[in-house]
Structure 1
Amino acid sequence: MKHFDILVVGGGHAGVEAAAAAGRMGADVALITMRRSDIGVMSCNPAIGGLGKGHLVREIDALGGIMAEAGDRGAIQYRLLNRRKGPAVQGPRTQADRKQFQAATSTLLDATPGVTLIEGEVVDLSVGDGDARVVLADDSEIRGRAIVLTTGTFLNGVVHIGDVSYPAGRADSPASQRLASLIRDHDLSVGRLKTGTPPRLDGRTIRWDELEKQPGDESPTYLSFRTSNTHLRQVPCGITHTNSKTHDIIRANLDRSAMYGGHIESVGPRYCPSIEDKVVRFGDKDSHQIFLEPEGLDDPTVYPNGISTSLPEDVQLDYVRSIFGLEQVEVLRPGYAIEYDYVDPRALTRGLMVRNLPGLFLAGQINGTTGYEEAGAQGLMAGLNAVRHVRHEDHVVLSRSEAYIGVLIDDLVTKGVNEPYRMFTSRAEFRLNLRADNADQRLTDMGRSLGLIGDALAAGWDRKRKLLDAGREALRTNSVSAAEAARITGGKPGPARRSVWELLGQTSLEELAAKHVRMPPDTAPVIELLAAEALYEPYIERQLRDQQALQREEGLRIPADLNYDTMSGLTSELRSKLKAANPETLGQAGRIAGMTPAALSLILARLRRRQAADGLAQSA
């Protein structure tokens, strides 16, 4: 029997990144999956990246991971989301050819040294005293020194389509029921969550010529720092909308929905509601937008993003055919909801190891998250820390100020989840510095020191770093007169010359070019990165001061009559949570699930104004 260092259970996005990270570090890894064909499968939408998620993908890439490069190899459309907003909240996203993405993932994993793929269903596992063991359904054993468990939606998974339910990890894969029972036996706190998918449509039966088109960006923003050109032909998506007839069909059949018919009691992702949820919760809306996303260049399947459902098949066909452009469409596979077990992530250390079971690491949807990107990020960190565990080294913990990955894991292990967790830029208090465009600047040196980055990637980063360092120096030392600076910025002349770096912090590159301000020639390859850095520099400094103030004021008392409804910067979600929890101190407010540092800063500012007003009243 061969012994391995690390046993990774599950071949989804978390498992792939865990196995690849451990392999890059020189460990001997067994990746155990039910079917080799499951490696790299996009079980839900055919896309990688987006707002918040694109930041995670870039960070995975900066640490040598697979997802970004596979995403670029399979990309059939690129879009930089929030392009009109600041660089801090822009998120790269690709529409993917499912087959090409899956093939690229398998190719990149196969090229990773030290990874052995084993097909089989894990039905038992144990860890302790530096020894780990898994048992497969055929009674064979595989031994190692640590386990990374990445079971996705397979733990006790149940698919629901109307009143029809059956055990499954996803539509065409069996559930892991014996493993689910085993985890419950280990005295871990286990809950149930749900997610869902829309029906898949036959693109050959869609009236594309009459629909609005959504093209990709003419100048692509790649997912990987290593990518320099597109690999596949680029295609547009289509846009259509539900209508009053669609909504009437859904309302008339709500009692036949798995969720509204009482077949599902678990909580789904609030930020990605089913079409039934949309019709019920937003009854005043006459329509909802649908993006028709091709699943491949040689595949007629189309993913209608925006109409996930658990209604019966006949109702799905009726409501889909009520939508403009889809009147004659054929449904290739019905949409469905899936319920599955997850482990309360508060049982984990910040290294993603189960506290009471040293040597067992959890990553992905088993921790209550949703999305390929969140899973991949956890997988990479779990694989990294599993290797460090067997080498008797301290776990690596990324802080909230270093990476979105740090925000993700800190949120999970300190706050837990009450719905599938999804990454948003609003969750990161240091988002001005945690940009997608500078993930390599933040993490690649760390990845190299940990053994995650090979010589070729390190050499490429070294070349880029030299360009950045020289560019900053050139921008800071090149200056214009006070009068010229006033002409450029439209302000009054100051007492001294201004550096081009200072001008970049106040004026866009486009405006500077229009006013004939020349950038130092050596900055050309990295000028956009440097412009973003110059723009945010003073705000980052202020943000750090605000964060320090929050830490100092954790004990500040919150009056019971504080009116959260009058705080315009708070989301309705946080207002309701604050009113329900009625926290007594700022520190207690900060521990409410979903609370953001930005929201805490708003509360602190209100408390300070109230204190000032009370002081004035007393002095009067």
Structure 2
Amino acid sequence: VENGVFKAAVTKGGEKIYAKACILTTGTYLDSEIMRGTEVVKSGPDGCVGAYGLAACLKNLGIKMFRLKTGTPPRLKKDTIDFSGLEKDEGSKYPLAFSYDTKDYIPFEEQLPCYITYTNKNTHEIIYKHLKESSMYNGIVVGTGPRYCPSIETKLVRFSSKERHQLFLEPESRYTDSIYLQGFSNSMPEEVQVEMVHSIKGLEHAKILKYAYAIEYEAIEPLQFDKTLMLRKIKGLFGAGQIIGTSGYEEAAALGLMAGINARNYIENKPGFILERDEAYIGIMIDDLVTKGTKEPYRLLSSRSEYRLLTRSDNADMRLMEKGYEVGLNSEERYQKFLERKRELERGIEVSKHIYVGNNKQVSSYCAELGFEKVDPNTSYFDLIKRQGVNYYKLSQLEDRLVKLDSELSYKLEIEVKYEGYIRLQLKEVERMHQYEGALLPSNIDYHHIDGLSLEAREALDKIRPGNIGEAMRITSVHPSDINVLLLYIRNYSKKNGL
């Protein structure tokens, strides 16, 4: 790093790899330690080498770090498990995928099932007996763990009244005999883990292929990143995944995608690619991280979105396909296919507004089956679809004038129509927020010299450096009175500078 700009990555052997940009995706390897009982080993996951020199380098550059913790359950040998008395948990018979482009579904009969078992009184007695031997409860673990997937020891401590806890036996691959014991992560000594596993129904003779462990690792305080996921103080150095405080699942994958796009844009001197809170859950996550920060592994929940009706799973393509095309992630063929589907959906909605039920006996009969009183012939199909239980796909089979759509587009149309009033209200909320986000804060603003700001707000604003009033409003330490002060400051600043 020279003059606040990334120049090269230096290998352990001293070799320099020069680049215009670098993305740090260290996962749980950054200054990592594995813990079982009183045993602490400097190691990455599964005995892999951790990243220790990098952690020291970042600290030397003045990057603020904090320590997080996660864990993993034991892996069991499949042919040592008695599945005969366990509940089978099969996959979905209806083909599900992240994209309608997916065609190569694994047939249902070829899918590998999971199985369900439970802890019991004996399991709990073993855990309580050895609780002080767990790394979580003997004082060794200092990092903050994930709130929403606690270890089995923590489940017992937090929910002591529960007589059992559900566990899933998940095949890790169709090509290996390893079974993942979901819900049983722990940091007990190996001999205690054997006793715990053997106390569970179906696992009385199970062989442990890999023992569970807790792992601590370093992360960068996310307030030090901007919305493109680049460190504010080191141009060209980006981060994604657990290094900026998230968990390592969908959150990390999405951040990797965004960091990759923005690293390329940075190299090509293009504007940053930023998704807003009303456009995508990715936008919500990044905004949360860089304006509020986190003290624990961040998980993205639907409750974090104030615009849940706009950021639905069914309209992901309508929200994001065009943006993906603009940054080069979607092919021309895929984009044109999307545009055709979008036109069909819009046509379906528009046609439904301008044709009426009339004396269609089949539709009247269908409505009677749903328990409706006689439908007024002057009711538009748009208004009929709004009624509870009315299915557009079924309706289009009974009315030739309606646009014929596949089941997926029919579902999209139903949601757009049924929630049309609520969606319209939410769009007004978005418009109001965009007005605040249009009130830009000067990059050189000195918050410590603005009269009327609370001390708490001054410190938070100076640390995070929001780009506009909307972002400032979402900072935990900034209160409505502080926002009024900032709005007045912007007004005076604009007058003074003729803006």
Both proteins in one fold, TM over 0.5: yes
- Is residue 42 of structure 2 the alignment partner of residue 179 of structure 1? no
For residue 534 of structure 1, the aligned residue among 409, 417, 422 is 417
Partner of 2:12: 137
What's the counterpart of residue 77 of structure 1? none
Aligned partners of 1:243 and 1:323 also within 8 Å = yes
The answer on 1:427 being equivalent to 2:304 is: yes
* Residue 292 of structure 2, aligned match among 415, 419, 424: 415
In structure 1, which of residues 228, 249, 252 is the aligned counterpart of residue 129 of structure 2? 252
Structure 2 residue 89 is the aligned partner of structure 1 residue 214:
yes
Q: How far apart, CA to CA, are the structure 2 residues paired with 1:449 and 1:167?
A: 44
Note the residue ranges of structure 2 that are not aligned, 5 or more in a row. 437-470, 478-499
Shift of 1:316: 0.9
**Match in the other structure for 2:171:** 294
Partner of 2:324: 447
What residue number does 1:169 align with?
44
Alignment of 1:420-569 (within 5 A): 420-481=297-358, 497-510=378-391, 513=394, 517-518=398-399, 520=402, 522-524=404-406, 526-545=409-428
8 Å CA contact 2:385–2:392 kept in 1: the answer is no
- How far residue 517 of structure 1 moved from its aligned partner, in angstroms, is 4.6
RMSD of aligned alpha carbons: 2.9
Deviation at 1:466, TM superposition (A): 3.1
Q: Aligned partner of 1:539: which letter?
A: Y
Counterpart code for 1:536? Y
Asked if the contact 1:191–1:341 (Cα under 8 Å) also holds between the matched residues in 2, the reply is yes
The match for 2:213 is 336
2:148 to 263, 271, 276: 271
SS of 2:40's partner is strand
2: CA distance, partners of 1:387 / 1:511 = 43
Letter in 2 for 1:321: H
Q: What secondary structure does 2:419 align onto?
A: helix
For the 8 Å contact 2:38–2:134, the answer to whether it is kept is yes
Tell me which amino acid in the other structure corresponds to 1:185. Answer: N
Give the superposition deviation at 1:284: 0.3
Distance 1:551 1:460 in 2: 31
Of 257, 264, 272, the residue aligned with 1:395 is 272
Moved more, 296-305 or 283-292: 296-305
SS state at 1:467 partner: helix
Give the whole-Å Cα distance in 1 for the aligned partners of 2:162 and 2:77: 28
Structure 1 unaligned regions, length at least 5 = 1-125, 554-586, 594-620
**1:543 is paired with a residue of what secondary structure?**
helix
User: What SS does the aligned partner of 2:41 have?
Assistant: strand
Answer whether contact 1:470 1:522 (CA < 8 A) is retained: no
Alpha carbons 2:6, 2:234 under 8 Å: kept: no
Normalised by the size of structure 1, how large is the TM-score?
A: 0.65
Q: 1:457 to 1:552 in 2, by over 3 A?
A: closer
Q: How does 1:101-120 map to 2 (within 5 A)?
A: none
Alpha-carbon deviations, 1:548-580, whole Å to 9, x = none?
789999xxxxxxxxxxxxxxxxxxxxxxxxxxx
Question: Structure 2 counterpart of 1:436, which letter?
Answer: S
2:105 corresponds to 1:224: no
The percentage of aligned residue pairs carrying the same residue is 38
Give the Cα separation in 2 of the matches to 1:151 and 1:250.
32
CA distance in 2, matches of 1:287, 1:493: 52
**Aligned with 1:160: secondary structure?**
strand
* Cα offset, 1:510, TM superposition: 4.8
Task: Give the conservation status (yes or no) of the 8 Å contact 1:488–1:512.
Answer: no
Give distance in 2, aligned partners of 1:470 and 1:588: 40
Q: How many residues align?
A: 435
Question: Do the aligned partners of residues 317 and 496 (structure 1) sit closer, same or farther apart at CA in structure 2, a change above 3 Å counting?
Answer: same
- Say whether the 8 Å CA contact 1:127–1:133 is kept in structure 2: no
How far is the alpha carbon of 1:228 from its aligned partner? 1.6
> Residues 396 and 404 of structure 2 are in contact (CA less than 8 Å); yes or no, is this contact kept in structure 1?
no
Q: Tell me what 1:350 maps to.
A: 227
What is the identity, as a one-letter code, of the residue corresponding to 1:461? F
Following TM superposition, by how much is the alpha carbon of 1:361 offset from its aligned partner in structure 2, in angstroms? Answer: 0.8
Structure (1/2) with the larger strand percentage: 1
Deviation readout 1:289-322 (Å, 9 max, x if unpaired): 0111111112111111111101111111111111
Matched, 1:281 2:163: no
Shift of 1:225: 3.2
TM (norm. structure 2) is 0.81
Q: Which residue of 2 aligns with 1:325?
A: 202
Quick one: which amino acid aligns to residue 524 of structure 1? D
User: Contact 1:377/1:405 (CA < 8 Å) preserved in 2?
Assistant: yes
Which of residues 56, 77, 99 in structure 2 aligns to 1:202? 77
Aligned pair 1:376/2:245, yes or no?
Answer: no
The verdict on how the C-alpha distance between 1:518 and 1:207 changes in structure 2, with shifts beyond 3 A counting, is farther
Residues 242-298 of structure 1: per-residue CA shift (max 9 Å, x gap)? 111111100110110001011101110010000000011100000000111111112
Q: Do structure 1's residue 188 and structure 2's residue 63 form an aligned pair?
A: yes
- Tell me, in whole angstroms, the C-alpha distance in 2 between the residues paired with 1:321 and 1:448: 53
| Match of residue 241 from structure 2 | 364
> Separation in 2 of the partners of 1:145 and 1:310?
41
Measured in 2, the distance between the counterparts of 1:501 and 1:159 equals 59
Which residue, 102, 112, 115 being the options, matches 1:235? Answer: 112
Distance change >3 Å, CA 228–CA 472, structure 1 → 2: farther
- Partner SS, residue 357 of structure 1: coil
Q: In the TM superposition, what is the alpha-carbon distance from 1:195 to its structure 2 partner? A: 0.3
Pairing 1:535-614 to 2, within 5 Å after superposition: 535-545=418-428, 591-592=475-476
Match of residue 101 from structure 1: none
Once residues 548 and 443 of structure 1 are traced to their aligned partners in structure 2, the CA distance between those partners, rounded to angstroms, is 19
Corresponding residue for residue 155 of structure 1: 30
| Higher mean C-alpha displacement, 478-487 vs 255-264 | 478-487
Q: Which has the higher contact order (CA 8 A, sep 6+)?
A: 1
- Displacement of 1:203 in angstroms is 1.4
Matching residue's letter, 1:226: D
Give the letter for the 1:505 counterpart.
K
